[in-house]
Amino acid sequence: MMNYIKQRLSLGDLSDDCNSQINNTPKTSVLSISESKFPSAKKSKILFIIDEPYVDWKKYFKGRKIFADYDIRIEQATFKEINLSAYSNGGILINVTAYRKGIPIVRSFHPDFVLVRQYVKDVNVNWISIILGMQYGAVPSVNSMKALYNFQDKPWIYAELRQIQRRLGEEQFPLINQAYYPNYRKMFISPPHPSVIKIGQAHQGLGKILVKNTADYHKIMSIIEMSQCYSTIEPYISGRCDILLQKIGQHYKALRRRSLSNNWKANIGSCIIEEIPLTERYRLWLDEVSQLFGGLDLCAIELVQANDGREYIIQVNDCTMQLIGEDQETDHQRIADLILHKMEIFCRPNEQMTLLTRAPSLIQLPIFLSDYEQKHFSNEHVRWRSHRKHKINRLSSFRQAVSNLFNQIMT
């Protein structure tokens, strides 16, 4: 009899009985009951697009889904319609104010992803406070909020382009020469003429003046004094055409723009735009630029081709780049495809941060994967040792409890 009691109180029998009872327990829970009584709500993710209203982004996402059954809900507005509040532990709340028949209507939502297609900083406007709020609320976006913040001022971008030129060489990366002045006081030396003066941060040809002689240069100095802005000066290049290189995700394109007017700005007046072959030289430039500020999923490079055939890089744009040419619909669709791909990485249904969400851009993903292969093995080894040690401690405690119980029975 005593041998039978000892055998039944052994570790293996008791543990097997306990495990069998646990495994055979009916798996009913409050969650399963609630799911049977109430139908599940329609699942969706909110994509917030900051762009002008003349681009209807809803048609590019119509009928599209992520994670097989998640719809894409589009919210679109301009910067001037946006207000927000961000919290360290609660994400971000967007408020968009729109007017219908003179009556303000406010809609509020928590965005899951953001696409920025409007200039953050332009003539007399600066929406960097909105970008700061979205970065504070850790909202994933294209391009990243870090990249958008660093694209505030063109001299800052030019300094990064100079780093690329120092690494590749002037022949491999022909960046145009430029001089920077924080104010008018240092502009007492007249540059070689003709030259182009760019005042402050502006886009689409605004704030650019062609200076043909010294007299014009001194007149412009008085305007810069009144503007209280920084300025840059670069040589004027009389060119055959402009060349625009653009990169949307992994899609590359090269366009040539020939002006039909006598204006020195190629974007003013009539012009002819045609797609040209993408050379390996162009691809190299786009790949280098797309690595700026942690990675740019959308970027563009503007070139001037001089009369002697030489090319000069004059400007780089980010996700706010203009889409030109006859294939604008295709470009918009490619941007939509890129956004869906990014949302499947950053907007997982369980809302858990994963390996992929730590990569600021798809460009840096291979680096994170290589680090993960080493860390994952070591972490699994640590977890296995911890689980084994915890299991041994439980078995030891169980044996001690059984021994105490047996001693009480015997006494």
Question: How do residues 193-248 score in pLDDT, each as one tens digit?
Answer: 999 999 988 777 678 899 999 999 988 888 888 888 999 999 999 888 999 999 99
pLDDT for position 89: 83
User: pLDDT at position 359, please?
Assistant: 52
Q: Provide CATH code, domain 178-236.
A: 3.30.1490.20
What is the distance, to the nearest Å, from the Cα of residue 350 to the centroid of all Cα atoms in its chain?
21
Using the predicted structure, report yes or no on whether residue 124 has a pLDDT greater than 90.
no
Query: 350 or 179, which is more confident?
Result: 179
The structural domains of the chain, with segments of one domain joined by +, span 44-150, 152-176+237-317, 178-236
Spatial neighbors of 322 by CB under 8 A, at least 6 apart, are 204, 300
Query: What is the tens place of the pLDDT at every residue in 273-300?
Result: 999 999 999 999 999 999 999 999 999 9
Q: For the CA atoms of the chain, what is the radius of gyration?
A: 31
Confidence of residue 363 (pLDDT cuts 50, 70, 90): low
Q: What is the CATH number of domain 44-150?
A: 3.40.50.20
- How far apart (Å, rounded) are the C-alpha atoms in residues 207 and 365? 39
Q: What is the predicted pLDDT for the residue at 167?
A: 97
Closest CA to 315 of 194, 154, 120, 168: 154
- Provide CATH code, domain 152-176+237-317: 3.30.470.20
* 8-state DSSP, 289: H
pLDDT above 80 for 268: no
What is the spatial distance between Cα 202 and Cα 208, in angstroms, rounded to a whole number?
9
Q: Whole-angstrom Cα distance, residue 329 to residue 34?
A: 45
Q: How far apart are CA 292 and CA 285, in angstroms?
A: 12
Q: How confident is the model at residue 55 (pLDDT cuts 50, 70, 90)?
A: very high
The one-character DSSP state at 297 is S
Assess contact for 60 and 72: CB atoms under 8 A.
no
User: Is residue 345 helix, strand or coil?
Assistant: helix
From 140, 145, 48, 45, select the one nearest 346 (Cα to Cα).
140
Nearest 10 degrees: Cα torsion 21, 25, 30, 33:
180
Q: pTM (2 decimals)?
A: 0.76
Query: 156-164 long-range contacts, Cβ below 8 Å, gap at least 24?
Result: 157/292, 157/316, 158/232, 160/292, 160/293, 161/289, 161/313, 161/316, 164/288, 164/289
Q: Which residue stretches of 312-362 are H helix?
A: 328-346
**Is 70 exceeded by the pLDDT of residue 266?**
yes
From CA 216, how far away is CA 211, in angstroms rounded? 6
**Sign of the CA dihedral running 238, 221, 233, 301:** negative
Decide which of 39 and 318 is more confident.
318
Instruction: Out of 57-61, 135-139, 347-351, 380-384, pick the least confident.
Output: 380-384
d(CA 228, CA 210): 19
Taking residues 156-164, what's their average pLDDT?
98
Which of 333, 330, 327, 329 lies closest to 274, judged by CA?
327
* CA triple 395-397-403, angle to 5 deg: 100
Residues 6+ apart with CB under 8 A from 8: 14
Q: What is the DSSP letter of 175?
A: B
Average pLDDT, the chain: 83
Residue 132's SS3 state is: helix
Instruction: Check residue 399 and give its pLDDT.
Output: 73
**Angle 57-349-28 (CA atoms, 0-180°, nearest 5)?**
145
Average pLDDT over residues 326-354: 88
